[in-house]
Chain A
Amino acid sequence: MSDITKQSLTELVENIKNKKLSSTDVTKAFIDRSEKSGELNAYITNDFTSALDKAKKFDQKPNLDSKLPGIPMAVKDLFCTKNIKTTAGSKILNNFVPTYESTVTENIWNEGAILLGKLNCDEFAMGSSNETSFFGNVQSPIDKNLVPGGSSGGSASAVAGQLTPVTIGTDTGGSIRQPASFTGIVGLKPTYGSCSRYGIVAFASSLDQAGPMAQNVKDCALLHEVISSYDPKDSTSIDFKRNHYSKDLSNNIKGKKIGIPKEYRVDGMPKEIEDLWQKGIQCIKDCGAETIDISLPNTSYALPTYYIVAPAEASSNLARYDGVKYGFRAKGENLIDMYEKTRSEGFGAEVQRRIMIGTYVLSSGYYDAYYLKAQKVRKLIKNDFDEAYKKVDAILTPSTPSSAFKIGEKTNDPVSMYLNDIFTVPVNLAGLPGISIPAGHDSKGYPLGLQIIGKAFDEQNILNIAFAMEEKINFKNKITDWWIK
């Protein structure tokens, strides 16, 4: 069955449960396709041999009551996996083998899934194009020399390129939704506190969330159902009643009120994006929902706020990489010299840049002017959403201000790179859930995404809206397998 890798997660689960396919069939098919994907550079580490062993073991004694029975899955290399190297895309963790498993991956294996390998990402998830990885940039399956987006670029490339049925990424300022949008797949950033952060290499602790990336909304809902759990090991994990997101999925969104925020119509936004947004508005109306013009007045301050808060938290989180207990160590004349050389040689340029910004805004004399100011503006941004949600059930925006760009196009201009996240960052600052769904193509044939932002803990609602829209939009991703010779 050569078309196994074309099947959705939902179909694969059904076929394994009905014994039409074995886990070994499915695992072999994805390994075979992954082995031919060298040019995409989506993997940092593969675990194919052991994946096949696990699949055979599963088939001997299959537990068909689990949610992901014998399903192979590769995950972003930001999740700690016990006894499997975890690098966060960095030289400084190039030889790090965790002694423990992240809670979200543990949840996935507990439902019967099998680890295929670890996927490439921007170094410490800092980037929007997967060009900051120590292990080289990732190619988009859409076109050669096109970025897959970032930081979950390997994850996006692997799902769109059918190297894994679904995957998980992390999203601090758009790192799931932006690459999902660039590669024509679905990506959900859950509410802050929905998925445990335990065992995820930390970037910015008040913003980081893990989330699913999939070919369609139903697969996304199923994986979210598996990974979302209350975890006492994460002090910011929130104990709330979680839905059966896939079973409760409904395309009935009649009467829902959807906000259209005027501030997302930014200067210089290409007409194609505006057209896509209008198409989305029409689609939502066709689904029986109502659209309402709203205002989120502080939107333009979100990105500057993010570029204080995220680097500040990162500079503190990354202080642990000192070359002593794990990871890369450079030779130094004394202890301080060893620290300084280790961090200078171990971190890449973008990570160093962000540590420097963070250190500066937290340093004596600048804390109030920058960090405290940013925390106050963050409050205003959250207030904007609270105000809007008095009138609407969800908000519809474009996912990104443009389609995917060429490799190398924005590497020399950090600010233009940061502008990629203009529509996704406010969602992280306010701790809300947001989902990107593929909604069309630009004139070059590259995918474009729409984002649906929900109220806190209202994942079911945005999944339902996405599900209804997906049916109407009927998006077809243009994957040419250009990387297979």
Chain B
Amino acid sequence: MSIDLKTIKHISKLARISVDEQRAEKLAGDLNSIFDFIEKLNELKTDNVEPLTSIAETSLKLRSDEVKSKNIREQIIKNSPQDNEDYFVVPKVIE
């Protein structure tokens, strides 16, 4: 299998990471060597194996949906790269 530049561009779009030509080529090389290594799994027959989706064999516990942290808006907003005191600010999305 070979991951080409077109595929790299496609994945980078899905991952929301901009990648220039030089980086794309380096990534293609790296990913191809990693996937060559991963291909080893195809040696194994797994048709009748149940996938392991969770290591803990118990089902998730339920809890009541209560607000525990109150009045921390200011602290939360303080971490934002751009705000106008009450809101997170992002580049304009409506033309």
Contacts and interface: CB of A to CB of B under 8 A. Distances in A.
B79 A415 contact: no
A343 interface: yes
Contact of A301 (B11, B34, B40, B90): B40
B56 A192 contact: yes
Interface string A322-360: 111111110011111111110110010000110111011
Interface residues of A, number: 68
Q: Is the interface of A mostly helix, strand, loop or mixed?
A: helix
A307 interface: yes
B27 A308 contact: no
Contact of B16 (A95, A235, A343): A343
A236 interface: yes
Interface string B10-31: 0110111111000000010011
A430 B55 contact: yes
Interface string A183-196: 00000000011000
A363 B44 contact: no
Interface string A351-393: 0110111011001000000101111111110100000000000
Contacts of B27: 352-353, 356
A375 B55 CA distance: 11
A475 interface: no
Contacts of B81: 323-324, 326-329
Contact of A206 (B50, B54, B91, B92): B54
Contacts of B55: 192-193, 206, 382, 430-431
A97 B79 contact: yes
Contact of B41 (A193, A235, A301, A431): A301
Contact of B58 (A238, A319, A323, A327): A238
Contact of A374 (B12, B41, B56): B41
Contacts of B56: 192-193, 236, 238, 431
B91 A338 contact: yes
Indicate the size class of the contact surface on chain B.
35 or more
Contact of B18 (A344, A357, A374): A344
The CB with the most chain B CB atoms within 10 A, among A192, A232, A355, is that of: A355
B15 A315 contact: yes
B38 interface: yes
Nearest to B63: A232
Contacts of A482: none
A339 B16 contact: yes
Interface in B38-95: 38-44, 46, 49-56, 58, 60-61, 63, 69, 72, 75-76, 78-82, 88, 90-93
Given A100-B69, A379-B49, A380-B44, A332 B79 contact: no
Contacts of A413: 33
A304 interface: yes
A377 B46 CA distance: 7
Given A340-B16, A375-B53, A376-B49, A357 B75 contact: no
Contact of B34 (A307, A327, A334): A307
Contacts of A319: 16
B11 A360 contact: yes
Contacts of A329: 81-82
A232 B39 CA distance: 39
B17 A415 contact: no
Contacts of A357: 31, 34
A414 B30 contact: yes
Contacts of A375: 51-53
A71 B33 CA distance: 46
A236 B61 CA distance: 9
B17 A373 contact: no
Nearest to B8: A356
B7 to A, nearest CB: 8
27 contacts: A97-B78, A99-B72, A99-B76, A235-B60, A238-B56, A238-B58, A301-B41, A304-B37, A304-B38, A304-B41, A307-B37, A324-B80, A324-B90, A335-B91, A340-B16, A341-B18, A343-B16, A353-B31, A355-B15, A356-B8, A356-B12, A359-B14, A360-B3, A372-B51, A380-B44, A415-B34, A418-B37
Interface of A: 95-97, 99-100, 192-193, 206, 232, 235-236, 238, 298, 300-301, 303-305, 307-308, 315, 319, 322-329, 332-341, 343-344, 347, 352-353, 355-357, 359-360, 363, 370, 372-380, 382, 413-415, 418, 430-431
Interface of B: 3, 7-8, 11-12, 14-19, 27, 30-31, 33-34, 37-44, 46, 49-56, 58, 60-61, 63, 69, 72, 75-76, 78-82, 88, 90-93
> 7 nearest interchain CB pairs?
A431-B55, A375-B51, A329-B81, A326-B79, A340-B18, A379-B52, A376-B46
